[in-house]
Structure 1
Amino acid sequence: MPRYRIDIEYDGTPYAGWQRQAGQPSVQEAIEKAIAAFSGEEITLKGAGRTDAGVHALSQVAHFDLSREWKPDTVRDAANAHLSLARQTVSILRAAHVAEDFDARFSAKARHYLYRIANRRAPLALERGRAWHVARRLDTAGMHEAAQRLVGHHDFTTFRSVQCQAKSPVKTLDRLDVMRLGEEIEIRASARSFLHNQVRSLVGTLKKVGEGRWTADDAEAALKARDRAACGPVAPAEGLYLVSVDY
């Protein structure tokens, strides 16, 4: 049975998240319906990560099996045609044949996220829903210094949602960089895997540092507390993007 990998771009604003949910729109269900529409087969799409409601993706990865072999370009173009007809904010960037043992989730070696903060006085018009608008100017150098205290192999209980289903709060955060590009602040995070709400929790804490309310020592103390109550506010979903997945 042929297995296919697809790379996916989506605006997560209209969806309740990646994962299929009864009575609510999801990215997974939108793609499954598009593939069924051209192939005549009901499939179960398995993604590299379950992004939350409102979170976007520049290159999410997923796999699925079909009984019939199709050219990858046909899979991409036919799925996109049906997604467009259904007015979904989802695009299949690439499709490819992969080995039967390829698994979008478990074969992944690293995941890379971007968080965008629009740091300006004026409200957003074109970027509304695609970045976190913060009017007060943030100290990005201080945020980056604090971020480096959080990189490494740690118990991230403080930055883990109470709804997280991971077996352990211990993860290795390979990268957490903060940089300013004019009126935009980019926070880039990389790890093999992340806890539920981990990136948004880290960003919310770093914002407190950027505002001068916390220091790098405070951020480190929050990490060491291993207590969800020690976390800063969770940043909103609209600024978060799954950028890419390494295999």
Structure 2
Amino acid sequence: MPRFFIELSYKGTAYHGFQIQENAPTVQLALEKALLTLFKEPFALTGSSRTDAGVHALQNYFHFDTNLPITEKHVYNLNAILPEDIAVRSIRLVSDTSHCRFDALGREYHYYIYQQKDPFMKDRGWYYPFELDFDLLQAAAAVLKEYTDFTSFAKRNSQVFTHNCSIDLSGWSKPAAQQLKYTVSANRFLRGMVRGLVGTMLKVGRKQISLDEFRYIIEAKDCTKADFSTPPQGLFLAKVIFS
């Protein structure tokens, strides 16, 4: 049966995550309802990357199998049905064995912080009005690329066989006045990992812990030592990398 990748972006504020959950609004549920409305039959969707409640995505994917004649015009049709905070970007035919989760080579995340009150950033960043040493933040971000075991940054009860991740990009930037953006790219991410990294690096930036203490947290392989208090609204899944 033909297989299709459907690419979408969404603002996650109103949703309890990406993939289906019982008795809770999710991005998958909204898309399944839109597909059912348009095509008059149910679709079984497989997701590429889970995002938590309140987390956004500039790019994420589902795949589905169907014998129906799917064309680019259905992008417009679906967007007319979907709520305003979810947008389909493309639908494309792929090989029957392609898998939007397992074929992904990596993912890139962005985390936004704003340090001056800004009503337009309320649901898209973390208001963090504390003095930060930018050079220390950059140094902490660079340290992460020296490690592969990120057990300390995986939330408890993460059902994975390994905590190893290969980070190829990790750095802070200043996209606008009084704003900071953390960008991280890796072959895989653990549950809660990016928020844990950001929260713990901010402690370095505030000089609450040293770079040596940051290294100790990484090497301790103990998630109770990392800071997972980082809220979800600043986090964006920016890119799913296939090739």
Q: Tell me the TM-score normalised to structure 2 length.
A: 0.95
Question: Aligned equivalents of 2:147 and 2:103: distance in 1?
Answer: 21
**Deviation, structure 1 residue 106:** 0.3
Unaligned runs of 5+ in 2: none
Q: What is the match of residue 215 of structure 1? A: 210
Contact 2:154 2:223 in 1 (8 A): yes
**Deviation, structure 1 residue 234:** 3.2
Number of residue equivalences: 241
**Deviation, structure 1 residue 58:** 0.4
Question: Aligned equivalents of 1:227 and 1:186: distance in 2?
Answer: 26
Identical columns (%)? 32
Query: 2:133 aligned to 127, 136, 139, which one?
Result: 139
Question: Aligned equivalents of 2:206 and 2:146: distance in 1?
Answer: 24
**Deviation, structure 1 residue 60:** 0.8
- Kindly indicate whether residue 193 of structure 2 is the aligned counterpart of residue 194 of structure 1: no
Question: Aligned equivalents of 1:119 and 1:101: distance in 2?
Answer: 46
Counterpart of 1:50 in 2: which secondary structure?
coil
> Quick one: which amino acid aligns to residue 193 of structure 2?
Q
- Kindly indicate whether residue 236 of structure 2 is the aligned counterpart of residue 241 of structure 1: yes
> Quick one: which amino acid aligns to residue 112 of structure 1?
E
Contact 1:55 1:237 in 2 (8 A): yes
C-alpha distance after superposition, 1:119-144 (max 9, x if no partner): 22xx2311111101101121121011
Contact 1:203 1:234 in 2 (8 A): no
> Quick one: which amino acid aligns to residue 241 of structure 1?
F
Q: What is the match of residue 90 of structure 1? A: 86
- Kindly indicate whether residue 43 of structure 2 is the aligned counterpart of residue 43 of structure 1: yes
C-alpha distance after superposition, 1:60-114 (max 9, x if no partner): 122111221221x12211211111xxx3510001111111111110000110000
Q: What is the match of residue 74 of structure 1? A: 73
> Quick one: which amino acid aligns to residue 97 of structure 1?
L
> Quick one: which amino acid aligns to residue 124 of structure 1?
D
Unaligned runs of 5+ in 1: none
The 4+ residue runs of structure 1 with deviation greater than 2 A are none
Contact 1:111 1:244 in 2 (8 A): yes
Question: Aligned equivalents of 2:45 and 2:157: distance in 1?
Answer: 23
Question: Aligned equivalents of 2:56 and 2:91: distance in 1?
Answer: 19
- Kindly indicate whether residue 116 of structure 2 is the aligned counterpart of residue 148 of structure 1: no
Question: Aligned equivalents of 2:229 and 2:101: distance in 1?
Answer: 25
**Deviation, structure 1 residue 219:** 1.1
Query: 2:113 aligned to 117, 121, 145, which one?
Result: 117
Counterpart of 1:13 in 2: which secondary structure?
helix
Q: How does 1:153-164 map to 2 (within 5 A)?
A: 153-164=147-158
Say what the alpha-carbon RMSD is for the aligned residues: 1.3
Q: What is the match of residue 127 of structure 1? A: 121
Question: Aligned equivalents of 1:160 and 1:153: distance in 2?
Answer: 14
